[in-house]
Amino acid sequence: MKLKNFWILLLLISSLAALAQEANKKKVYLLNIKSEITPATRRQVSQAFEAADSLQADVFLIHMNTYGGTVVDADSIRTRILQSDIPVYVFIDNNAASAGALISIACDGIYMRPGGSIGAATVVNQTGEAMPDKYQSYMRSTMRATAEAHGKDTVVTASGDTLVSWFRDPKIAEAMVDERIYVEGVSDSGQVLTFTPAEAIANGFCEGTAETLKEVLHQVGIDDYEVTEYQPTWIEKIIGFLVHPMISGLLIMAIVGGIYFEMQSPGIGFPLGIAILAAVLYFMPLYLEGLAEHWEIAVFIVGLILIAVEIFVIPGFGIAGAAGITLVFLGLLLSLIDNVNFDFEGVELRGVGTAITTVVLGLFGGFMLALYLGKKMFTAEHGLFKNFALKTVQDVHEGFVSVETKLFDLKGKSGTAQTVLRPGGKIIVDGDIYDAVAVSGFIDKDEKIVVTKIEATQLYVELEEE
């Protein structure tokens, strides 16, 4: 009996020890940034920090390898890092260039793989050309402010001089943006500053080198830990899929095809629903990615309204139709271009070319596909929607005519001009109103007329002789 109690007590002690050991494990939240910095990256960083806060993580670790990206998104990310209550460390696994350098400098600790680099934060377009100085000025101040956020040490010497030692020198951070910034012994070559791991350590921009995440955590002072890695949500994966140029082109084809088929059928039905769904799937991810703005979506909608007015209200094809087609094209095009309102200074030609190609091929392909499928589905003998098409032929040899027969009964009858006929207008015969054309000259309102002939559903009249 005593032996049994002993084993129970031993098991209880072991369980408590295991629980205590589990409780002492540090919670590490891991986020990978291994691609271009985009609006998607900003959203994922925000989601990762929310998850880390919910988990009550002890450490937030970023595994980075990037050549940069958009400054606006990088600025939002660095702000979120600076505001974090959880210590944030970054492991630069090769590259932290441009926007990646800004994000790294915001972290509490920087660790680099041997052979890696950090810096080269000049703002450039996608062709590699430096942007105008107003962009560089903003980046310089952002880099400087980020370095300053980590604090400084102030020392008063025996002679009364005050010496300031920054944890990360703001001047060096600026030199990563602008080759004109001179830092003696560090940046005096007239080139934008980029550090190797050894140089970064010597100048306070790196705490140490490491080969693995485990080594990084060991240097931070964490050996017993549990890692939770951020995984993109299914929504993020769908957005990434929908913004691909090929998918955008297919969605444009669906928009065009849906509108075309809706015009071929009476009422409002399934094709219009397809067009609306395709438009939502086209603009929604672009809006979330920061490409499509409110006014660009509004331009597209106004274009559709003008096209509808041209088709259903105004006869023929004129200004409204041309303007509608133009606005639809511009709405689809501008939503693919990374412009800011009407400022296209930072938009590269390659991006514009890709956007134009996507929209043109989508519109043309959608129109041609709609014509082809319309013929196959509605007119073919075995078409999917053959029962929705009217295929009965009313042959003239069977007595069918395209004119109302009662019009022929009006020949020789008298009436009154309801309006002035110049030469066209309206007449009243036997209490009914008809369109008519004066055979010769003008006929004033209320003049007595007589129907002289009927041709192609058109009544021809002359003044009735007294």
**What does the pLDDT read at residue 433?**
87
Mean pLDDT of 261-272: 65
Domains and CATH numbers, the chain: 16-232 (3.90.226.10), 235-388 (no CATH), 396-463 (2.40.50.140)
SS3 state at 140: helix
Distance of CA 131 to the CA centre of its chain: 23
Q: How confident is the model at residue 332 (pLDDT cuts 50, 70, 90)?
A: confident
**What does the pLDDT read at residue 386?**
52
Q: Is 60 exceeded by the pLDDT of residue 71?
A: yes
**Tens-digit pLDDT profile for residues 100-110:** 999 999 999 99
For 18-77, give the DSSP string: HHHHHHHSEEEEEEEE-S-B-HHHHHHHHHHHHHHHHHT-SEEEEEEEE--B-HHHHHHH
**What does the pLDDT read at residue 10?**
67
Please give the residue that has the higher pLDDT: either 278 or 466.
278
**What does the pLDDT read at residue 121?**
87
**What does the pLDDT read at residue 91?**
97
**What does the pLDDT read at residue 295?**
82
Alpha carbon distance 61, 40 (integer Å): 19
**What does the pLDDT read at residue 97?**
92
**Tens-digit pLDDT profile for residues 340-379:** 566 655 555 556 677 777 777 877 777 777 667 666 655 5
- Kind and range of the H or E element at 292? none
Strand partners, 114: none
Q: Is 80 exceeded by the pLDDT of residue 182?
A: yes
**What does the pLDDT read at residue 425?**
85
**Tens-digit pLDDT profile for residues 125-136:** 666 677 788 888
Alpha carbon distance 144, 168 (integer Å): 9
Q: Helix crossing, 270-288 with 234-242: angle to 10°?
A: 100
**Tens-digit pLDDT profile for residues 381-423:** 555 555 555 555 555 555 555 556 677 778 888 899 998 887 8
**What does the pLDDT read at residue 160?**
57
- The single residue listed with the structure tokens 């331009």 is 299
For residue 80, which of 131, 133, 33 has the smallest C-alpha distance?
A: 33
pLDDT averaged over the chain?
80
Q: Rounded to two decimals, what is the model's pTM?
A: 0.62
Strand pairing of 424-429 and 414-417? antiparallel
Burial string for 142-165 (b: 16+ CB within 10 Å, else e) reads bbbebbebbeeeeeeeeeeeeeee
Alpha carbon distance 60, 51 (integer Å): 11
Strand partners, 460: 437, 453
